[in-house]
Amino acid sequence: MDDYAIRAAVKADAERLVRFLPAKPGRSVELRVEAMRHDLRERVSAGELLILLAEHDGHVVGYARASHVVRPPSRSPEEIPSGWYLLGVYVATAHRRRGLGRAFTERRLAWIAEQADEALYFTRTDNDASLELHTEYGFSEVARGVNAPGQPVRADRVLLRARVRP
Ligand SMILES: CC(C)(COP(=O)(O)OP(=O)(O)OC[C@H]1O[C@@H](n2cnc3c(N)ncnc32)[C@H](O)[C@@H]1OP(=O)(O)O)[C@@H](O)C(=O)NCCC(=O)NCCS
C-alpha cells in the first residue's frame, strides 16, 4: 500500500475520474464529466458526498464514493431507504487484492460515522468480492430486490447495513 496515495477528489480530477471509470452505455464522457464536476463542486462542499481516489505512479487506479441518499416520499416500498451509503468502489484490475478496497471502505466508514450511527450499501447477490469485503466491516443483509435511484430494477440487488458507532 506504500506505493498508493488515497485522497479526496477535487473538481480538477473530474475528467480523469470519468476516463478511469467503466463506460456507461447511453451517457457520453462529456455529460459524465459535467455531472462529476457538479458533484465535486456542489455536493462535496455541502458535506453530503465524499469522493476518494487512489493514485499510483501518477495514474488513477481506484475510486470510491459515499453519499447521503434521500428517498423521495412517493417512491415504491422496494426503493432503498434514506441514509448514508457507500456508493460505488472501483479498483483497476491490475491493482486489486492489495488493500485498496479495504482502505477506501475504512475511510468512507469513518466519514459516515461523523454523520450517523449506521452505514448502508447495496450490491448484487453474485458480487462475491464486494460481499466479502463488506462483511469484514459488519455489514449484514436487510432486504433483497431493492430499487436504487437511477439504476435498473433488479431482483438480485441486495441491501446491507452496518453500525459505524459503538
Ligand atoms: C470489490 C473491489 C473494489 C475490491 O477491491 P480490492 O482493492 O481488490 O480489495 P482489497 O484488496 O482491499 O480486498 C479486501 C478483501 O475483500 C475480499 N475480496 C476482494 N476481492 C475479492 C474477490 N475477487 N473474491 C472474493 N473476495 C474478495 C477479500 O476478503 C479481501 O481480503 P484478502 O485479499 O485479504 O483475501 C474490486 O474487486 C472491484 O473494483 N470490483 C469491481 C467493482 C465492484 O464490483 N465494486 C463493488 C460494487 S458494490
Query: Could you report the per-residue pLDDT of 103-126, keeping only the tens digit for each?
Result: 999 999 999 999 999 999 999 999
Computed over every residue of the chain, the mean pLDDT equals 94
Quick check: 74 pLDDT over 80? no
Residue 40 Cα to ligand 1 midpoint, Å, equals: 26
Residue nearest to ligand 1 atom 27, measured at CA: 129
Residue nearest to ligand 1 atom 30, measured at CA: 133
**72 against 139, higher pLDDT:** 139
Helix axes 100-113, 128-135, angle to 10 degrees: 50
User: Which atom of ligand 1 lies nearest, measured to the CA of 92?
Assistant: 39
* Domains, the chain, with CATH or none: 5-163 (3.40.630.30)
Stretch 23-44: mean pLDDT, rounded? 93
Round to whole Å and give the CA distance between 46 and 25: 29
Residue 123 Cα to ligand 1 midpoint, Å, equals: 13
The cell for 90 is 472501483
Q: Which helix (H) or strand (E) holds 29?
A: helix 29-38
**149 against 113, higher pLDDT:** 113
Cβ pair 54, 62 in contact under 8 A? yes
Stretch 78-85: mean pLDDT, rounded? 94
> What pLDDT is stored for residue 65 in this prediction?
97
Round to whole Å and give the CA distance between 148 and 79: 6
165: left (phi over 0), alpha (psi -120 to 50) or beta: beta
Round to whole Å and give the CA distance between 16 and 74: 36
> What pLDDT is stored for residue 76 in this prediction?
82
> What pLDDT is stored for residue 58 in this prediction?
94
- Ligand 1 surroundings by CB, under 6 angstroms: 89-91, 96-102, 123, 127-130, 132-133
Q: What is the pLDDT of residues 39-68, one digit of tens each?
A: 999 999 999 999 999 999 999 999 999 999
Round to whole Å and give the CA distance between 21 and 8: 16
**66 against 74, higher pLDDT:** 66
